[in-house]
Amino acid sequence: MKLSEKELEIIEILEKDARTPIDVLAKMVDLPVEETEALVKKLEEAKVIVQYTALIDWRKADGREGVTAMIDVKVTPKRGVGFDEVAERIYRFPEVKSVYLMSGAYDLSVVIEGRSMAEIAQFVSEKLSTLDSVISTTTHFILKKYKHDGIVFDQGDQDRRIVVSP
């Protein structure tokens, strides 16, 4: 879908702050409110704007801290469908937050969330690695999130450092 300059401006603004009020958005792109609303609706219907979400720092919500892992997956692609079929089987698991086709040593990068490292290990050993097309996996646990989707976490906590003992 070819987007107009105004549509591009709108999605760039909403990508940074999805809560921008429509009247403010209209002023920012120099369009009437009704036209801005119509363009946003068109972008939503075309699934250019897929969803509005909130970025949460779960470490600040007591009792809700979990574990996030990035898993490199090497797979055997299937004739006629390539990587799409195995990627679909993986992204259907509720633990899976993201799946990306990658270049390099591994084929897919999978991001999952769980309550503990043991829960993630169980997912990898019982669900992911048992899929027919999966050749191997390498799991990386996220120790600290510094920046996500362009947002820096804990700017005021710059003196805190993570120390990992051997």
CA 71-100-151 angle, to 5 degrees, is 85
Lowest pLDDT segment from 55-59, 81-85, 132-136, 159-163: 159-163
Q: Which residue do the tokens 């009792």 mark? A: 63
What are the pLDDT digits (tens) for 20-63? Answer: 999 999 999 999 999 999 999 999 999 999 988 877 676 676 66
Distance CA 8, CA 161 (A): 39
Distance CA 143, CA 159 (A): 17
Instruction: List the end-to-end C-alpha distance of the chain, in Å, as a whole number.
Output: 51
pTM over 0.75: no
Please report the domains of the chain, with CATH numbers, ordered by start residue.
Answer: 5-45 (1.10.10), 59-144 (3.30.70.920)
Which token pair is 157?
């906590």
User: For residues 151 and 158, which has the higher predicted lDDT (pLDDT)?
Assistant: 151
